[in-house]
């Protein structure tokens, strides 16, 4: 009878108010053991405050935080089995790379030989073997990032927090680190909580995502769920691009009183003379603008009864000459009924 | 054990704040502000002329005495001196600060800044003393002036009643030189800091728009450096107002505020009058500081 | 961003260079003149050029017990005032840096007052208060006076260092399992150590040659600056005063110079790590 593992992190109506500002407001959240979980949202949405409360740098003004079933709401950071990779890395400038990494073990008074052995393992894990004697100032941004990661992992925390750790890196290095982070997580099997404002990063790396907006969690789900079925206009707009259709236009298309979103790539630019397939919605319009973007082309279509939709099509066969000719053409847009996400009016 | 104390404190940031802020704040409030306040109260007492005892009764009479012609003259003399010294220091300091801020490579800059700061911290008294040697009738400056054949000019200067005297060491002119010398670093550093903050791009933009170097200097650099001058003047002005060592060691018998305060409380034992006289520079300085803050000079400190 | 300290330093106009170096000479030559005068054989006047050269005043100065008593006293006062300033100044800096409290801006103002207001104000205020409470003027009243204006020096140095330090370092340390005390010892202290040293040395130099406040807070004690000051009005062996002045210069020069180097060089290395 294996007892079920409690969630790695559980928020029970957690709020953090700074005076009148509700940085986090009655958030409920469960993060599973071993998960790669992302907290996504614009700056000021409360994601970083949540991370700081898990780490213990900040405490909730109301509600409780549980770490594997234990209430940690009022424990100082050093009494929590949680470690953090900081946005600015926060390496200690007066210590060498090895001393930085060994720091957690040193304050726990682990014997020196043991410490050195662990440090070497960590250096190897983050591919920095041989860099132990250097000072942080002698490292590149990407290398400092790895040191910060190794320093946080050496304690084998139950949960690793990453606060926009890739923000300072250039695009190439960032993509490489995304892959590496995933690989390292698989290897060490620790729950990762990743804070980012970059939706693409969240979509590619996460098992699940929590989307924050103005101190509240808008939606929690797998990347596919969030992308395909956004529960609110905010989610639809923040993750990827989306057409939001409401009011009169929505009623004309669906025959119902709804607001819905539809992703631009799900819409087909149909021939005005052909009938739309059954089980799909359709609407006629005129192509007002064509933007050729290499991999795909973006069309802005003005609907006959008012409103407009953005449509993208991959340039499988067409060239820029072909697509640009479409400007001013009439079209019958149609898309599968299942591809719309209805949301509360 | 330490862990427990640490956690106890960690959960009570307010307590930690009071533990850290408490001692310095208590010290400064009790010792310093308390003394200042006590001084203020004393300025409302008066000295019984016949018994020589201080009467602890509220009166504005002591303040009235500070407006007696002799004392007013002291205030005017000191304020004029402070203004003259401030202007002189601004004139000497600006080229040096400008040179350090804009025309020196980093290594030389570090050294020049140290060269300017050293006298700021190093012995004030000894530097005054040095001028006693220099300004003495038989001293190095007279020798140098003779060498240049300018003895006549010096005699003429010393002959002017308001600034002259029997020798440089015993004249307001000599005091003026020493004041300007002593407080000079206080002027250089804020100006240099302010100039350092003038973005390079602004200067380039100005010359890009067709301004000649002198125009750029006048329309861009000077206005932006002005808060630095004001910040520096806080020190030169305040320090001149309150100083009594220089007038005591170098001046003639005409009193300056600091000197007057010193002798009122010392030989005369008239603490109320000394206290009331001290409030003069304090009030002048507070007004000065408020104006300076309005002009953004505090950022240049 | 383009920094001013790039190698593209523009060339200064000649007149500016001359004015700048003339200003520097004006600042430094007078001090050298004192050194020169320690060698004069002339006992009663300040004749220049020196009528001759002698080293006897160093020997005579060595014999003068009153001079050495005041040197010792000044060293003691400076040491204790500096110690007090180190504690009070760094506590205040830590409080201002770590927390956001009502009236935080006023703290700097309060601490800077003793050096912003004319020294005579501080001096007479302290004298009146000490006298009013019938506290005897002593070694300790001198120290109390000196501490008031030394605190701000340490405070400014330490606070500036705190502000340059990455704040997340403290969080990182606690996050890795160090309690507040360990964090202070392993992370905070090494970060501010040179600032403490620099501030402490400046405070020491400031106290060692302070004369204005001291004339008001001292009783019968004669600190070295007071000794020199009394020599100014009632000279006895004038050239011995020159030697004493030189001692003051040398004792204060070293700590000031070192503290300047310390703050300059540590800002260099921090610049690199960014």
SS3 of chain C: the string is CCCCCCCCCCCCCHHHHHHHHHHHHHHHHHHHHHHHHCCCCCCCCCCCCCCCCCCHHHHHHHHCHHHHHHHHHHHHHHHHHHHHHHHHHHHHHHHHHHCCCCCHHHHHHHHHHHHHCCHHHHHHHHHHHHHHCCCCCCHHHHHHHHHHHHHHHHHHHHHHHHHHCCCHHHHHHHHCCCCHHHHHHHHHHHHHHHHHHHHHHHHHHHHHCCCHHHHHHCCCCCCHHHHHHHHHHCCCCHHHHHHHHHHHHHHHHHHHHHHHHHHHHHHHHHHHHC
pLDDT band at C4 (very low <50, low <70, confident <90, very high): very low
Asked if the model's pLDDT at residue B118 lies above 60, the reply is: yes
Contact between chains at A88 and C174 (C-beta distance less than 8 A): no
Same domain, residue pair C88 and C204: yes
**Is the peptide bond preceding residue B82 cis, with omega within 30 degrees of 0?**
no
Nearest-Cα distance to chain A for B243, in Å, is 44
Give the integer Cα–Cα distance in Å for A246 and A344.
10
Q: What does the pLDDT read at residue A227?
A: 86
Task: Centre a 10 Å sphere on the Cβ of residue A288 and count the other Cβ atoms it contains.
Answer: 12
- Exposed/middle/buried for residue A308 (C-beta within 10 Å: 0-12, 13-18, 19+): middle
Query: Do C118 and C158 fall within a single domain?
Result: yes
Which one is predicted more confidently, B161 or B40? Answer: B40
What is the length of chain B? 301
**Both structure tokens of B53:** 């005892």
Note whether C106 and C159 are same-domain residues: yes
| Nearest Cα residue in chain A from B9 | A76
The DSSP secondary structure of B236-276, one letter per residue, reads: HHHHHHH--HHHHHHS-S---HHHHHHHHHTTS--HHHHHH
Residue A314, strand partner residues: A296
pLDDT digits (tens, 9 = 90+) for B232-247: 888 888 888 888 888 8
Entry pTM: 0.81
Q: List Cα–Cα distances, A31 to A6, A39, A46, A66, in angstroms.
A: 10, 11, 17, 10
Question: φ and ψ at A270, to 5 degrees?
Answer: -90, 160
Cite the beta strand spans of A47-139 per DSSP E: 62-67, 70-71, 82-85
Using CA atoms, how far residue A177 sits from A104, A132, A201, A207, in Å, is 24, 20, 11, 17
User: Which tens digit of pLDDT belongs to each residue from C152-175?
Assistant: 889 988 988 888 888 789 999 999
Give the pLDDT confidence score for residue C3 in this predicted structure: 43
Q: What average pLDDT does this structure show over C231-253? A: 78
Segment C102-128 mean pLDDT: 82
Mean pLDDT for B193-202 is: 79
C267: contact with A, CB 8 A cutoff = no
Whether B118 has its CB under 8 Å from any CB of chain C: the answer is yes
**Are residue C22 and residue C121 in the same domain, yes or no?**
no
pLDDT at C46 over 90: no
Q: Quick one: tokens of B289? A: 């500081």
Q: Round to whole Å and give the CA distance between A140 and A164.
A: 17
Quick check: helix, strand or coil at residue B213? helix
Tell me if A35 sits within 8 A of A207, measured CB to CB: yes
Domains parsed from chain A with CATH numbers: 9-238 (3.40.50.300), 243-343 (2.40.50.140)
3-class secondary structure, B49: coil
Phi, psi of A63 (to 5 degrees): 90, 175
Is a pLDDT exceeding 50 seen at residue C6? Answer: no
Residue C60, domain member (yes or no): no
| Per-residue DSSP letter, B29 | I
At residue B298, the pLDDT reads 60
pLDDT at B9 over 80: yes
- Core vs surface per residue C227-265: b (16+ CB within 10 A) or e: bbbbbbeeeeebbbbbbbbbbbbebbbebbbebbebbbe
User: Rounded CA gap, B135 and C256, in Å?
Assistant: 28
B286: left (phi over 0), alpha (psi -120 to 50) or beta: alpha
B153 falls in which pLDDT band (50, 70, 90)?
A: confident
| Number of domains chain C contains | 2
Q: In whole angstroms, how far apart are CA C203 and each of A114, A254, C173?
A: 45, 80, 31
Domain regions of chain B by residue span: 4-11+15-36, 69-300
**CATH class given for the domain over B69-300:** mainly alpha
Query: Based on the number of CB atoms within 10 Å of its own CB, is C125 exposed (0-12), middle (13-18) or buried (19 or more)?
Result: buried
Could you tell me if B211 lies within 8 Å of chain C, comparing CB atoms?
no
Measured distance CA(C177)–CA(A155) in Å, rounded: 9
Is pLDDT above 80 for C12? Answer: no
d(CA C88, CA C110): 13
Q: How confident is residue C65, by pLDDT bands cut at 50, 70 and 90?
A: confident
For C237, residues 6+ apart whose C-beta sits below 8 A from its C-beta are C43, C57, C60, C64
The CA distance from C243 to C256, in Å, is 20
Maximal CA-CA distance, chain C: 72
Note whether C106 and C36 are same-domain residues: no
| pLDDT of amino acid C194 | 86
State the count of interchain CB pairs (< 8 A) between A and C.
75
Residue C1 has pLDDT above 50, yes or no: no
Do C187 and C256 share a structural domain?
Answer: yes
* Whether A90 and C169 lie within 8 Å, measured CB to CB: yes
In a domain, C2, yes or no: no
What pLDDT score does B224 carry? 80
Q: Residue C270 — pLDDT band, cuts 50, 70, 90?
A: very low
- What is the mean pLDDT of the segment spanning B238-258? 83
- Report angle CA A120, A122, A125 to the nearest 5 degrees: 115
What torsion, rounded to 10 degrees, do the Cα atoms A311, A326, A304, A291 define? 40
Q: Which residues, at least 6 apart from A144, have a Cβ–Cβ distance to it below 8 Å?
A: A89, A91, A136
Higher-pLDDT residue of B57, B208: B57
Q: CA A253 to CA A276: how far, in whole Å? A: 13
Closest chain B C-alpha to A37 CA, distance in angstroms: 29
pLDDT at position A345, please? 46
Tokens read off for A129: 């073997």
Q: Does the beta-carbon distance from A84 to C166 stay under 8 Å?
A: no
C48 and C71 fall within a common domain:
no
Q: How near does any CA of chain C get to the CA of B128, in Å?
A: 9
Mean of the pLDDT values across residues C6-12? 64
What is the pLDDT at residue A331?
A: 86
Edge-to-edge strand ranges of the sheet holding A9-18:
A21-31, A9-18, A62-67, A70-71
Q: Which of A58-72, B17-31, B146-160, C120-134 has the lowest mean pLDDT?
A: B146-160
Do C103 and C212 sit in the same domain of this protein?
A: yes
Look at B11 and A79 and tell me if their CB atoms are within 8 Å.
Answer: no
What is the CA angle A339-A344-A345, rounded to 5? Answer: 105
Task: Output the six-digit token pair for C83.
Answer: 């110690």
B7 contacts A79? CB cut-off 8 A: yes
The rounded distance, in Å, linking the Cα atoms of A260 and A246 is 7
Which of A291-295, A314-318, B7-11, B73-77 has the least mean pLDDT? Answer: A314-318
Higher-scoring residue by pLDDT: C267, B84: B84
pLDDT confidence bin for C264, thresholds 50/70/90: low
Handedness of CA A258, A261, A267, A271 (dihedral sign): positive
Same domain as C229, residue C114: yes
Contact (Cβ atoms closer than 8 angstroms) between residue A97 and residue A136: yes
Band of residue B27 on the pLDDT scale cut at 50, 70, 90: very high
Tokens representing residue B97 in the block: 């600060």
Residue B261's Cβ-count burial label (10 Å; 0-12, 13-18, 19+) is buried
What is the pLDDT confidence band of residue B301, given thresholds at 50, 70 and 90?
low
Does residue A76 sit at the B interface (CB-CB below 8 Å)?
Answer: yes
Q: Which residues are CB-neighbours of A304 under 8 A, at least 6 positions away? A: A283, A284, A285, A286
What are C80's two structure tokens? 């204790």
Question: Which chain B residues contact residue A79 at CB under 8 A?
Answer: 7
Chain C residues near residue A155 by CB distance under 8 angstroms: 176-177
- Does the pLDDT of residue C142 top 90, yes or no? yes
User: CA dihedral in degrees (C19, C22, C26, C28; nearest 10)?
Assistant: 120
Contacts of B15 (CB under 8 A, 6+ apart): B9
DSSP three-state, residue B1: coil
Q: So what's the pLDDT on residue C187?
A: 92
Residues of chain A with pLDDT under 50: 1, 345
Cβ <8 Å between C46 and B244: no
In a domain, C248, yes or no: yes
Q: Do B238 and C12 touch (CB under 8 A)?
A: no
Asked if B10 lies within 8 A of A76 by C-beta distance, the reply is yes
Do C177 and C137 belong together in one domain? yes
Categorize the per-residue pLDDT at B299 as very low, low, confident or very high, splitting at 50, 70 and 90.
low
SS3 A328: coil
| Lowest pLDDT segment from A165-179, C132-146, C179-193 | A165-179
Which residue range is the domain that position C23 belongs to?
A: 12-54
ipTM of the predicted structure?
0.80
Average pLDDT, chain B: 83
> Would the pLDDT of C268 be above 70?
no
From A107, which residue of chain B is nearest by alpha-carbon distance? Answer: B3
* Set of chain A residues whose Cβ sits within 8 Å of the Cβ of C186: 92, 103, 106-107
CB A338 within 8 A of CB A258: no
pLDDT at C38: 81
Give C205-214 pLDDT, tens digit per residue.
Answer: 889 888 888 9
Residue B145 is encoded by which pair of tokens?
Answer: 């002036």
Look up the CATH number of the domain holding residue C183.
1.10.3720.10
**Bridge-based pairing state of the strands B54-55 and A280-292:** unpaired
Percent of chain C with pLDDT over 90: 20
Q: What is the DSSP string of B91-129?
A: HHHHHHHHHHHHSS-HHHHHHHHHHHHHHHHS-HHHHHH
Closest C-alpha among B224, B221, B200 to residue B212: B221
């Amino acid at each position: 009878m294996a007892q079920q593992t409690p969630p790695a992190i559980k928020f029970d109506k957690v709020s953090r108010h700074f005076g009148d500002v509700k940085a986090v407001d009655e958030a409920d959240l469960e993060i599973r053991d071993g998960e790669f979980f992302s907290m996504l949202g614009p700056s000021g949405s409360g994601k970083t405050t949540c991370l700081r409360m898990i780490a213990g740098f900040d405490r909730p003004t109301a509600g409780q935080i549980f770490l594997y079933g234990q209430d940690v709401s009022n424990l100082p950071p050093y009494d929590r089995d949680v470690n953090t990779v900081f946005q600015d890395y926060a390496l200690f400038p007066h210590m060498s790379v090895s001393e930085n990494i060994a720091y957690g073990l040193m304050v726990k008074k682990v014997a020196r030989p043991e410490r050195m052995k662990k440090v070497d393992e960590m250096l190897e894990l983050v591919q920095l073997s041989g860099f132990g004697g250097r000072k942080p100032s002698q490292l590149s941004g990407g290398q400092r990032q790895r040191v910060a990661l190794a320093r946080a992992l050496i304690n084998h925390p139950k949960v690793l927090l990453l606060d926009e750790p890739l923000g300072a890196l250039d695009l190439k290095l960032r993509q490489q680190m995304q892959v590496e982070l995933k690989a390292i997580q698989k290897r060490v099997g620790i729950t990762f909580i990743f804070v980012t404002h970059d939706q693409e990063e969240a979509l590619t790396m996460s098992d699940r995502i929590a989307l924050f907006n103005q101190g509240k969690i808008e939606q929690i789900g797998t990347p596919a769920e969030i992308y395909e079925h956004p529960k609110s206009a905010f989610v639809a707009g923040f993750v990827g691009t989306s057409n939001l259709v409401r009011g009169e236009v929505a009623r004309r298309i669906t025959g119902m009183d709804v607001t819905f979103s539809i992703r631009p790539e799900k819409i087909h630019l149909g021939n005005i003379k052909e009938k739309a397939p059954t089980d799909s919605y359709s609407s006629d319009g005129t192509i007002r603008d064509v933007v050729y973007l290499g991999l795909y082309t973006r069309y802005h279509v003005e609907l006959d009864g008012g409103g407009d939709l953005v449509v993208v099509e991959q340039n499988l066969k067409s060239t820029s000459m072909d697509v640009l000719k479409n400007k001013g053409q009439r079209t019958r847009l149609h898309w599968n009924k299942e591809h719309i996400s209805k949301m509360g009016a | 054990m330490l862990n427990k104390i640490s956690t106890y404190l960690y959960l009570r940031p307010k307590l930690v704040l009071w533990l850290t802020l408490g001692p310095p704040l208590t010290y400064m409030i009790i010792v310093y502000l308390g003394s200042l306040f006590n001084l203020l109260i004393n300025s409302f007492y008066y000295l019984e002329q016949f018994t020589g005892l201080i009467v602890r009764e509220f009166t504005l009479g002591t303040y009235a005495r500070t407006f007696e012609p002799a004392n007013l003259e002291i205030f005017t003399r000191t304020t004029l001196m402070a203004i003259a010294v401030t202007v002189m220091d601004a004139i000497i300091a600006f080229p040096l600060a400008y040179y350090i801020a804009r025309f020196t490579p980093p290594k030389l800059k570090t050294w020049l800044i140290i060269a300017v700061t050293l006298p700021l911290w190093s012995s004030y008294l000894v530097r005054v003393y040095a001028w006693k040697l220099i300004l003495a009738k038989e001293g190095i400056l007279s020798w140098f002036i003779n060498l240049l054949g300018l003895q006549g000019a010096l005699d003429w200067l010393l002959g002017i009643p308001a600034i002259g005297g029997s020798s440089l060491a015993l004249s307001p002119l000599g005091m003026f030189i020493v004041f300007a010398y002593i407080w000079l670093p206080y002027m250089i550093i804020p100006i240099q800091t302010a100039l350092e903050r003038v973005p390079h791009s602004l200067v380039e933009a100005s010359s890009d728009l067709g301004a000649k170097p002198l125009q750029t200097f006048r329309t861009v650099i000077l206005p932006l450096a002005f808060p630095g001058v004001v910040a520096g003047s806080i020190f030169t002005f305040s320090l001149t107002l309150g100083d009594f060592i220089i007038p005591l060691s170098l001046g003639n018998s005409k009193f300056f505020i600091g000197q007057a305060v010193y002798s009122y409380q010392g030989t005369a034992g008239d603490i109320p009058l000394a206290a009331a006289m001290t409030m003069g520079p304090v009030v002048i300085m507070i007004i000065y500081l408020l104006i300076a803050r309005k002009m953004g000079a505090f950022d240049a400190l | 961003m383009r920094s001013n300290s790039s190698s593209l330093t523009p060339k200064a106009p000649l007149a500016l260079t001359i004015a700048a170096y003339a200003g520097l000479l004006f600042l430094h030559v007078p001090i050298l003149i004192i050194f020169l005068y320690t060698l004069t054989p002339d006992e009663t006047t300040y004749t220049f050029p020196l009528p001759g050269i002698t080293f006897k005043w160093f020997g005579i100065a060595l014999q003068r017990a009153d001079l050495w008593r005041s040197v010792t006293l000044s060293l003691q006062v400076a040491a204790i005032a500096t110690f007090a300033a180190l504690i009070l100044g760094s506590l205040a800096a830590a409080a201002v840096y770590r927390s956001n409290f009502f009236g935080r801006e006023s703290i700097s103002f309060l601490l800077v007052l003793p050096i912003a207001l004319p020294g005579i104000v501080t001096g007479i205020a302290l004298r009146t208060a000490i006298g009013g409470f019938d506290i005897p003027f002593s070694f300790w009243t001198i120290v109390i006076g000196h501490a008031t204006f030394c605190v701000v020096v340490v405070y400014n140095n330490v606070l500036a260092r705190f502000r340059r330090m990455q704040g997340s370092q403290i969080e990182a340390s606690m996050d890795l399992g160090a309690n507040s005390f360990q964090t202070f010892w392993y992370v905070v202290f090494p970060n501010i150590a040179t600032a403490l040293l620099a501030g402490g040395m400046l405070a020491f130099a400031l106290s060692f040659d302070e004369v204005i406040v001291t004339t008001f807070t001292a009783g019968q004690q004669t600190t070295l600056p007071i000794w020199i000051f009394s020599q100014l009005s009632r000279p006895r062996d004038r050239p011995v005063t020159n030697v004493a002045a030189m001692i003051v210069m040398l004792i204060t020069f070293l700590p000031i110079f070192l503290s300047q180097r310390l703050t300059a060089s540590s800002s260099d290395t921090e610049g690199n790590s960014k």
